[in-house]
């Protein structure tokens, strides 16, 4: 559930636009194409988990790779969590300043989101999970709402012709959602914390599939309602889609209800990554208490979110071009590398260790 929210939360804002710009009418197929990335990541993480039951990534990476290389390896992951987190926050803040809170400095929005998510993160993973339980129905409801009221406007002929321009643009477009599904890699950190580890695999498969279904549905709706050409130009096509839900004088401006729900889910996702990056940091430095890291993370994240990207076009370009391959490296490349080394060196956690 938490995983589903985590994957589905951010795809809403920028992703459909990116997809549609590249793959035009076939954008919704690109979503499905990118699905294997999630499953591959899940499989690798699962195998690692089976080898080292009861311990998380920072622990077994040191067992497999040795102390120093292991620490560097975890360091990369801390950076990964950190960057995902800062992208999530910055995305949300930019979205807000452009659409609803015109004129509010991004830095302030960043700070507010960081404080909220940091508070949740410091309370621990269990609190975040409960938060997910609370938010999931709201999130789903907001979507059912969008689907129900948008469907009558849909013109399915706009999806034709399929596969125009061949497979290549679709594959190119599918990298971005692939990196999104690959975020399931956080399971490597969460596995030992689960109550019922044997059920995790089933649940994770479910989470990836359902969020893929969601993204596909959202892409389909934006394509059939706004059309592939306008959606490709807009920065936030889904927001535009919600704004187009107008039925006379009775149903208007639904975005005012839907956007806050999205925001809470984004804060949830940010809290999760916040928590993970702080925990791993504390682990590799062998700190007794995690508290200082949580405090330190606030100014760090604030500076990073505010100053790394000067403006929205820069952010969009980074997300579009540079981030997906890097993310996929962390999500599939590095865990696979770890698994191969573990198999070669025949490292396995003893049951009593």
Partner 1 sequence: MKRKVSILTLVVILISQCLFLPGCWSRKEIDDFAIIFGSSTDITTENGIDKYVLSTSVMRPPSQGKERDQSGKGAPSEIFLKGKGPSFQEALMDSMKELPRNTFFGQILFNIMSERAAKEKTSQLMEGFLRYAQDRPLSSLYVTKGGASKVLQALPTSYSSLSLQIKKQEETALRAGVACGVSLEQFVEWLLSPDRDAVLPEIETVSREKGESVPESIIVQGFGIFRGAKLVGWLNQDEARGYLLITKKIRDGQIPIPFTMNGKSLVYWLTGAKSKIESRMTDGSPLFKITIQTEGTIYESNNYDVSAENIKSLEQAAGEKIQELPLKTIAKAKEYQADFLGCMENLHRYHPSAWQEIAPNWRESFRNTDIEVSVEAKILSAGAARQSLQIKK
Q: Residues in the site for partner 1, rule: CB under 8 A?
A: 98-99, 101-105, 108, 157, 160-161, 164, 226-227, 229-230, 233-234, 240, 243-244, 246, 253
Give 179 or 240: the residue with its C-beta nearer to partner 1.
Answer: 240
Minimum distance from residue 298 beta carbon to partner 1 (Å) = 16
| 311 Ramachandran zone, left/alpha/beta (phi>0; psi -120 to 50) | beta
Q: How far apart are CA 236 and CA 13, in angstroms?
A: 6
- Closest by CA to 269, choosing from 158, 148, 117, 163, is 117
DSSP-derived 3-state class of residue 194 = coil
Beta bridge partners of 156: none
Distance in Å, CB of 337 to partner 1, minimum: 42
* Cα–Cα distance list, 218 to 3, 172, 242 (Å): 19, 19, 11
User: Is 199 or 317 the residue whose CB approaches partner 1 more closely?
Assistant: 317
Please state the closest distance from residue 161 (CB atom) to partner 1, in A: 4
Nearer to partner 1, 240 or 305 (CB): 240
Q: How far is the CB of 345 from partner 1 (least distance, A)?
A: 48
List of E strands, the chain: none
Distance CA 87, CA 9 (A): 12
Residues 43, 189, 84, 271, Cα dihedral to 10°: 130
Please say which residue, 144 or 233, places its beta carbon nearer to partner 1: 233
Of 97 and 209, the one with the shorter C-beta distance to partner 1 is: 97
Q: How far is the CB of 80 from partner 1 (least distance, A)?
A: 32
Closest approach, Cβ 182 to partner 1, in A, equals 31
Largest CA distance in the chain: 68
Instruction: Report whether 51 contacts 342 (CB < 8 A).
Output: yes
Q: How far is CA 37 from CA 34, 65, 68, 132, in A?
A: 6, 25, 29, 24
Please identify, using beta-carbon distances, which residue of 6 and 221 lies nearer to partner 1.
221
């Amino acid at each position: 559930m938490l995983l589903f929210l985590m994957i589905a939360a951010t795809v809403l804002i920028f992703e459909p636009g990116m997809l549609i710009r590249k793959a035009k009418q076939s954008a919704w197929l690109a979503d499905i194409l990118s699905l294997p990335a999630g499953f591959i990541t899940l499989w690798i993480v699962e195998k690692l988990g089976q080898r080292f039951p009861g311990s998380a990534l920072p622990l077994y990476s040191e067992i497999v790779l040795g102390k120093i290389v292991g620490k560097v390896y975890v360091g990369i992951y801390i950076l990964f969590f950190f960057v995902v987190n800062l992208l999530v926050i910055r995305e949300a803040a930019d979205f807000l300043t452009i659409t609803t809170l015109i004129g509010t400095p991004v830095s302030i929005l960043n700070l507010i989101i960081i404080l909220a998510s940091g508070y949740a993160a410091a309370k621990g993973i269990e609190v975040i999970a409960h938060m997910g339980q609370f938010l999931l129905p709201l999130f789903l409801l907001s979507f059912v709402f969008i689907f129900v009221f948008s469907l009558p406007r849909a013109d399915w002929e706009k999806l034709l012709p399929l596969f125009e321009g061949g497979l290549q643009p679709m594959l190119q477009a599918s990298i971005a959602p692939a990196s999104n599904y690959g975020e399931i890699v956080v399971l490597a950190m969460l596995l030992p914390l689960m109550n019922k580890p044997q059920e995790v695999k089933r649940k994770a498969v479910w989470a990836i599939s359902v969020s893929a279904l969601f993204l596909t549905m959202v892409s389909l709706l934006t394509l059939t309602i706004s059309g592939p050409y306008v959606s490709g130009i807009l920065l936030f096509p889904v927001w535009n889609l919600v704004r187009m839900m107008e039925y006379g004088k009775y149903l208007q401006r639904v975005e005012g209800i839907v956007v806050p729900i999205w925001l809470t889910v984004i804060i949830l996702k940010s809290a999760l990554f916040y928590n993970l990056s702080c925990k791993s940091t504390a682990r590799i430095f062998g700190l007794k208490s995690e508290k200082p890291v949580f405090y330190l993370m606030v100014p760090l994240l604030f500076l990073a979110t505010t100053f790394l990207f000067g403006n929205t076009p820069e952010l969009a370009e980074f997300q579009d071009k540079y981030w997906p391959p890097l993310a996929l490296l962390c999500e599939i490349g590095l865990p696979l590398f770890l698994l191969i080394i573990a198999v070669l060196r025949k490292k396995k956690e003893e049951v009593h260790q």
